[in-house]
Amino acid sequence: MYKRLSAVMFPLTALLLIGALVWGYQENQEKNAILIKAENQYQRAFHDLSYHVERLHGELGNTLAVNSASNGMHRKGLVNVWRMTSEAQNEINQLPLTLLPFSKTEEFLSKISNFSYKAGIRDYAKKPLTDDELSNLKALYKSSGEISKDLQDVQNKVIGSRLRWMDVETALATENKAEDNSIIDGFKSVDKRVEGYPDLDWGPSVASIYDKRSVKMLGGTPVSVEDIKRKAIKFANAGSNAKVDVKEHGKNTKWPSYTATVSGSNNKQIISMDFTKNGGLLISYYDNREIGPAKVTLEEAVIKAEQFLKKKGYPHMTAVNADRYDNIGNLTFVTSQNDVLIYPEKMTIRIGLDTGTTVGFEASEYVNEHKDNRKIPKPKLTLAEVKKFLNSDFNENYHRMAWIKNDDSVEVLTYEFGGEVNGTQYRIYLNADDGIEESVEEIRPSSGVEQK
């Protein structure tokens, strides 16, 4: 019996063992194939990065080599700089550098990219490169040459010692030192070098991208917790029995603020509000109530939001956009001054379409940008003169004056035109002084704001 059983089991066991070995071998081969593919991708991205930074250095040199009045070559060179920088940024994103300090270099490349793009697309006949911008290009040429040399040194070590990026990734992930840290040390050296570069004046259009606003920048006297409690109760229309809990955030930092939570006597309806510490200005408001089926239209919601804003101390606000998401209306309002819409002073209101009451309020942009009685100049061009700059196929629905920030983050007076071209609705903003297009926006068809 045992002989018969062993005669059956032995071949079966041997077969299973062979199958397991084959399966393990295949799994190991697939794993190795994946690792080899990842390593090849890392190597390609790194060598391409070194190449494009070297090309970036060369393009900056070419741009500086031509005559200072050679606008055409300046534009061509800056466009190439932007393209090379974008390629380098893309390759950095493909490398396993998330755990390696390389943020200074990434930010540096980002600023070069934005600077070259902004400078490369403008009208040089009206706004040629300034002396400061040419000085920036000289500094960038010198800096990019140093970074390129450092990357080439790392590249030579990678090739000469046959270093693997997979070892670097494992070392960074496990916080263990790799046998050869040439890659890690090289990238740390590059980032440290970039950190030591002096700050350049990138101009307002680039600086605004990296401008980190803080409530500390606001004027006003710091308010106390008790002041915030009173403000929260008043804004929420809470009764004397309401419970208010106030927490301070970012003490002794650039972001000091308060969060006030107001709950009714039944502790069910909870309203949360954020205030600046300086001046006690309301930044946001959120009503946590449950919203029922919609009974209010977007047009009615706009009217109710206007009433809410006027009651809360924001009398001169105009709705410029309205969208519906489920049973909530999201409305955008801007300040109106002497029939001119002030777009930087923007706030968003969320209306529950079941009752038409406000369930959300976000006013950080309004708080940061609001100015009393802005000085708005008279337009140099008449409406009839500006209309000549519109696309001949543009079918106008409305027009009005608007104060906006252009691509250079400079506030300008414009004529805003709403209409249709090629079957799509647009808002087009033309400079009130020279008719140049400052901005073009597509209008979503779901907008519930009647344009006039």
Q: What is the pLDDT of residues 208-228, one digit of tens each?
A: 655 555 444 556 688 899 999
> Which residue reads 């956009």 in tokens?
321
Q: Indicate whether 162 pLDDT > 70.
A: yes
Q: How far apart are CA 438 and CA 430, in angstroms?
A: 6
Q: Indicate whether 430 pLDDT > 90.
A: yes
- Within a 10 A sphere around the Cβ of 389, how many other Cβ atoms? 16
- Looking at mean pLDDT, say which of 192-206, 220-234, 410-424 comes out highest: 410-424
Q: What is the pLDDT of residues 57-112, one digit of tens each?
A: 888 888 888 777 777 788 888 888 888 888 888 888 887 766 566 777 888 888 88
Query: Residue 411: enclosing H or E segment and its boundaries?
Result: strand 411-421
DSSP state of 301: H
Residue of higher predicted confidence among 421 and 71: 421
Nearest residue to 44 (alpha-carbon basis) of 95, 97, 102:
95
Give the CA angle between residues 131, 438, 432 to the nearest 5°: 100
Q: Indicate whether 266 pLDDT > 90.
A: no
User: Quick check: 435 and 389 in contact, CB under 8 A?
Assistant: yes
Residue of higher predicted confidence among 244 and 12: 244
% pLDDT > 70, the chain: 80
Q: What is the pLDDT of residues 394-408, one digit of tens each?
A: 999 999 999 999 877
User: Quick check: 451 and 415 in contact, CB under 8 A?
Assistant: no
* Residue 181 pLDDT class (50, 70, 90 cuts): low
Looking at residue 215, its pLDDT comes to: 47
Q: How far apart are CA 352 and CA 259, in angstroms?
A: 23
pTM above 0.75, yes or no: no
Q: Indicate whether 168 pLDDT > 80.
A: no
Q: Indicate whether 49 pLDDT > 90.
A: no
> Which residue reads 């009503």 in tokens?
287
- Within a 10 A sphere around the Cβ of 263, how many other Cβ atoms? 18
Looking at residue 415, its pLDDT comes to: 97
Q: Is 157 exposed, middle or buried (0-12, 13-18, 19+ CB in 10 A)?
A: middle
The predicted model gives 435-444 an average pLDDT of 87
Looking at residue 395, its pLDDT comes to: 94
Give me the residue spans of the domains in the chain: 25-210, 225-369, 383-442
- Which residues, in sequence order, are bridge partners of residue 337? 340
Task: Indicate the average pLDDT of the chain.
Answer: 82
